[in-house]
Amino acid sequence: MSTKTAGKKKSVSFFRKIEPYFYLAPFAIGVLLFTLYPIVNVVLMSFKENYNFINQSYSGWGLGNYLYVLNDAYFIQAYKNTFMYVFVVIPISTCLSVLIATLLNQKIKFSGMFQTAYFLPMVTSTVAIGFAWRFMFSHRTGVINYLLSFLGVEAINWLQIPKYNFPALCIYGIWAILPFTIILLLSGLQNIDPMYYTAAKVDGAGPIKSFFRITLPLLAPTIFLVLIVNTISTFKVYNELFPLFQGPGIASNLFTVVYYIYYQFRIKTPMKYGYAAAAAVILFLTIFVFTMIQRFIEKKTKD
């Protein structure tokens, strides 16, 4: 009798233990199947020599793909372009969005209108916006050249002359990244107790002093978040190439790492899955190192 109940108890508690895994299962299977499996597969693929996707054949394991990619002029160009892009877009977009978010956070007139204007890119079709930007960059009739003419800058052929492709891409990229960044920063700003500003004001602090001594330090955690998220996304620059140039610049001069992956995978015949996979792994490692460095700096500044 007693042993029977004990046994029953044991089976109940065993079920209790494994019960949560049933609830987790649907999600876990999804993650394993659609995220983890492809990642593992890409890493494996990058080490397979002469891999053929269709019949899954390969001639052996090795570093051949990496050696090819690292010596490929297109990849080197892509890697350089991507780095330059990150180093131009991240600082400029971060500074701009901190500035704009701070202004939007003031109780100014028309702030509703400004907010709508800045968030428009998020809710509008990328293709439509891309076309709009083609017009804006247009050599003779574009609004950008028109605005620059006031500064005495002669009309620039942004899209047709290779050396201007990169600045055009950066301008577009900065613009595209702003809304999301501003939303994050605005929510960070709204978490700052207005009491601090009142206290500083009573002590005689002007807007600039308040900004640098109160706003910026209290916003720092959000700025770091934005930096990490945006660095990762700008390292993956690729989409932005199509609306402006329908490809990697006007003269194959604007390869980026992700475009290179796409190029090996999709455009080149026969398709080079191994090269694509190796490039993807290199990009992953690069982003990983960068994120670690940022986290390290964040921790350092916190203390």
Partner 1 sequence: MKITIDHLTKDFGSTIAVNDFSAVIESGELIALLGPSGCGKSTMLNMISGILPSSTGKIYFDEDDVTDVAPEKRGVGLVFQNYALYPHMTVLENIAFPLEIKKVKKEEREAKAKEMAKLVHVDMLLDRKPKQLSGGQQQRVAIARALIKNPRVLLLDEPLSNLDARLRIEMREEIRRIQQETQVTTIFVTHDQEEAMSISDHIVLMKDGFLQQVARPQELYDEPANCFVADFLGNPPINKTYGVVQNGAIVLDGGCVVELDAAKNLKEGHKVILSMRAESIVVDEGMKNAEGTVVETYVMGKEVLAYVSLGDYKVRAYIPAEKSFGKEQKVTVGLKKRGVFVFDAETGERLA
Report the interface residues with partner 1, using CB under 8 A: 193, 195-196, 198-205, 209, 213-214, 217-218, 220
- Shorter beta-carbon distance to partner 1: residue 18 or 202: 202
Q: 63 φ, ψ to 5°?
A: -100, 15
Give, in degrees to the nearest 5, the angle at Cα 67 between 66 and 72: 95
Q: Least distance from C-beta 298 to partner 1, angstroms?
A: 14
Least Å distance, CB 299 to partner 1, is 15
Residue pair 193/52 in contact by the 8 Å Cβ criterion: no
- DSSP β-bridge partners for residue 49: 60
**Which is closer to partner 1, CB of 116 or CB of 190?**
190
Q: How many Cα atoms sit within 13 Å of 289 on the Cβ side?
A: 5
Q: How far is the CB of 209 from partner 1 (least distance, A)?
A: 6
Closer CB to partner 1, 45 or 189, in the complex: 189
If the CB atoms of residues 28 and 199 are measured against partner 1, the closer one turns out to be 199
Alpha-carbon distances of 290 from 75, 84, 96, rounded to whole Å: 19, 14, 22
Least distance in Å: CB of 229 to partner 1? Answer: 22
- Comparison of 206 and 270: residue with beta carbon closer to partner 1: 206
CB nearer to partner 1: pick between 17 and 300: 300
Smallest gap from residue 205 Cβ to partner 1 (A): 5
Nearer to partner 1 (CB atom), residue 187 or residue 301:
301
Name the strand (E) or helix (H) holding 60. strand 60-61
**Least spacing, CB of residue 194 vs partner 1, in Å:** 10
Please, where are the H alpha helices in the chain?
2-31, 37-46, 64-71, 73-105, 111-123, 126-137, 143-150, 162-190, 194-202, 207-210, 216-235, 241-245, 257-262, 273-302
Phi, psi (degrees; rounded to nearest 5) at 261: -60, -45
Contacts of 282 (CB under 8 A, 6+ apart): 66, 69, 70, 79, 257
CB of 296 to partner 1, least distance (A): 20
The nearest distance, CB 112 to partner 1, in angstroms, is 22
Phi-psi region of 61 (alpha: psi -120 to 50; beta: other; left: phi over 0): beta
Euclidean distance between the first and final Cα of the chain, in Å? Answer: 63
Structure tokens at 34: 């659609």
Rank residues 17 and 302 by Cβ distance to partner 1 and give the closer one: 302
